[in-house]
Every structure is written in C-alpha cells, then in structure tokens.
Amino acid sequence: MTTFYSRGRKYGTVEVQFKNKEDAKKLSTVALRTTKWTLLPTYCGRRAARISIEKVLREINVEWLVAAIVFNCKEEVEVVKVEKSREINWWGFRLEVLIHVALPDLHNIAEELELPEGTRLRVVRSTNKEEVVEEGKKEEEKKVEEITAERKKVRVDSLPKSPKKKERKKNAAKNKESTEKRTSEPEEANSKFEKAVKIMAWEGRLENQLQHVVKTGRPEGSKLRTLMFYQKEMELEKKIVKITGLMRVKLSTDMFEANQREVLIEKDTAEKLKELFPDIITNSKIFV
C-alpha cells in the first residue's frame, strides 16, 4: 500500500506499507527505482542527502569528484543521481549529487576540496532538516536534564566543605589524572596493510555505485591521474611542490594518521615518485 503525503517540484514524501517486517527491513537500505520514480527509504538510519558544489572547472572529472567526496564513508553509499548545470562563463558549472547514505556517514562526507594554485571547492550538504534538528534537539535536552539532576543531587547530598578541603580534593584529582596519562598505553596506529585493505574495499564499492553517474568525456590532452597517499617528508614535499597541475584533497576524516597527505597526481609521475620513496607512498587504484 502506497500513500502520497506531499509533493514538490522535484521531491515528495511517500509512505509505503509492507505485509511483514522482514520485507520492510530488506528494502530499507536500497534505493527503489521504477520507470517514473526513485524511492529513498529513511528507515533503519538511512538518509537521502543532496550535495552541491559551485564553480567546478570543466577539466575536473566528475567521477573523481564524486569518489573524493564520499571516500571516507564507512558503510555503503548509493549514488542515485548526478546533475551538471550549464557552464557560466569562466566560473565553471554547478554539480549536484543525490546519494542514499547511513546517518553516521553524513559527517564523513568531505567538506572541502583543494585544487591547483590554491583554488578550493566548498562542498555543501543538505538533508531533511526537520528530522536532523529534532534528533539533535532531543539529545541536547537529555544531556541538560542529566546535568541538572546531577547538580541537584550534589547540592542535597553533600555537606558544605571548607576551602582547604576543596583545594586538597582538587589537587588529588589533578594528580590522579596525570598518573593515569603516564601509565596509559599509547594507542596502536593503523598499519599500512589495514589502510590498503580499506582503500581496496572502497574501489569495489565505487565501481558498483558510479554506474548511475553521468558519463562525461575526458578533455583532450589530459593524462591519467591517480589518488596518491604519502607520509609527510621534507624531500618528497620539495618534489611535489614543483609539480604543476597538482590537486590536494582535504577530507573530513580521522581515518589516517595526522602526517598523512593525499594528492591527485598524474599516474606516470606517481610511479616515478614511488620508485624514489617506496616506503612512504601508497597509490590508490582509483584512476580518473
């Protein structure tokens, strides 16, 4: 049973009722396509998000741009639709991407992309604002209620303390924190093997998801590029700075270490650098 609630120029709200719960869960994490409609379920923590990027140069490959935006999402992301507006003078065109993504991965979408010569592309994400704001409001109200109840309990249960006792208690807490920091073991950093496994897993996802992306022809004279990951090192940085046509990718992620860098670079140049610095460079197989 299907019921229309509202309908706008491009999007509407639909309620679909299933006979049993198993069918509802089975179809809750995928976009349902028909000849006229595409249904994006919001059940089981899934959300539909629209991503827009302004002033995209025509030399930039659309498939690489979509892959860089959703690179750090941990769960499966379904690219539903990609639209490209008419190019306006030399400013470039506007790109709109509609994706079906898990709610936690909304915060893993890239916020900004850095292009050659310091040019930056801002990534704007929009979702169902009413649901997102309502959930955040409930969590914030719950935290305020817990803090207020704890303060009331402290005021009722505890007796007034003298300034000397308060100072001794404060110093004891500081000493305890410093002792715990010294005795705690440092967290183990992600190994190169684990990073390589994550990158390979993403390659398989993107091959399936980007089949619905609008195919655009490669500009004449452009060379094959690859997304190269490397550890920050002075000699390698000096060589990379001299390379023309370089794109730096800035991801809103804690997936890699703090000294890890990502650049979009020509394949031939990346292979030469890897021969010179084999221990600190990791090439992704996502070529555009």
Note the pTM of the prediction, 2 decimals.
0.37
Pick the last residue of a domain from 76, 111, 129: 129
- The neighbour count for residue 114, using CB atoms within 10 Å, is 17
Do 208 and 153 belong together in one domain?
Answer: no
- Token readout for 131 is 């649901």
Helices and strands in the chain, H and E counts? 7, 13
Residue 7, pLDDT score: 54
Per-residue buried b or exposed e for 245-268, using 16+ beta carbons within 10 Å of the residue's own CB = ebbbbbbebeebeeebbbbbbbee
Do 6 and 124 belong together in one domain?
Answer: yes
259 assigned to some structural domain:
yes
User: What does the pLDDT profile of the chain (288 residues) look like in tens digits?
Assistant: 445 444 555 566 667 777 777 777 666 666 666 666 666 666 667 777 888 888 787 777 778 778 878 877 777 777 778 888 777 666 778 888 888 777 777 777 877 877 766 777 778 777 644 333 334 445 556 666 776 776 665 554 445 556 667 777 777 877 776 665 555 444 444 566 676 677 667 666 666 555 544 444 444 445 666 777 777 777 777 777 777 666 665 554 544 455 667 666 777 777 778 777 777 777 665 555
- The neighbour count for residue 84, using CB atoms within 10 Å, is 15
Q: Is 20 exposed, middle or buried (0-12, 13-18, 19+ CB in 10 A)?
A: exposed
Do 105 and 135 belong together in one domain?
Answer: no
CA-to-CA distance for 274 and 269, rounded, in angstroms?
Answer: 9
Do 150 and 118 belong together in one domain?
Answer: no
Do 125 and 220 belong together in one domain?
Answer: no
How many domains does the chain fold into?
3
The CATH number for 50's domain is 3.30.70.330
- Token readout for 147 is 């803090």
93-102 sheet: strands from edge to edge: 78-84, 93-102, 46-56, 120-126, 112-114, 247-250, 260-266, 225-231, 281-287
Cα 259–Cα 260–Cα 263 angle in degrees, nearest 5: 135
CA-to-CA distance for 246 and 133, rounded, in angstroms?
Answer: 39
- Which of these, 17, 18, 72, 14, lies nearest to 48 by C-alpha position? 14
Residue 33, pLDDT score: 65
Do 94 and 146 belong together in one domain?
Answer: no
Residue 133, pLDDT score: 33
Residue 206, pLDDT score: 61
179 assigned to some structural domain:
no
80 assigned to some structural domain:
yes
Do 124 and 137 belong together in one domain?
Answer: no
Residue 136, pLDDT score: 47
184 assigned to some structural domain:
no
Do 77 and 149 belong together in one domain?
Answer: no
246 assigned to some structural domain:
yes
The whole domain housing 141 covers 130-157
Residue 44, pLDDT score: 66
Contacts of 22 by beta carbon, 8 Å cutoff, 6+ apart = none
Give the bridge partners for 38, in sequence order. 33
Do 135 and 84 belong together in one domain?
Answer: no
Do 23 and 49 belong together in one domain?
Answer: yes
Are the beta carbons of 280 and 231 closer than 8 angstroms? yes
182 assigned to some structural domain:
no
CA-to-CA distance for 115 and 167, rounded, in angstroms?
Answer: 54
Do 9 and 123 belong together in one domain?
Answer: yes
Among the residues of the chain, which ranges form H helices?
A: 21-26, 62-69, 129-157, 163-183, 192-209, 234-241, 267-276
CA-to-CA distance for 168 and 181, rounded, in angstroms?
Answer: 20
117 assigned to some structural domain:
yes
169 assigned to some structural domain:
no
Q: For 197, phi and psi rounded to 5 degrees? A: -65, -40
- Write the CA distances from 160 to 8, 152, 169, 170, integer angstroms: 62, 14, 13, 15
- Which of these, 281, 265, 261, 177, lies nearest to 226 by C-alpha position? 265
Do 9 and 53 belong together in one domain?
Answer: yes
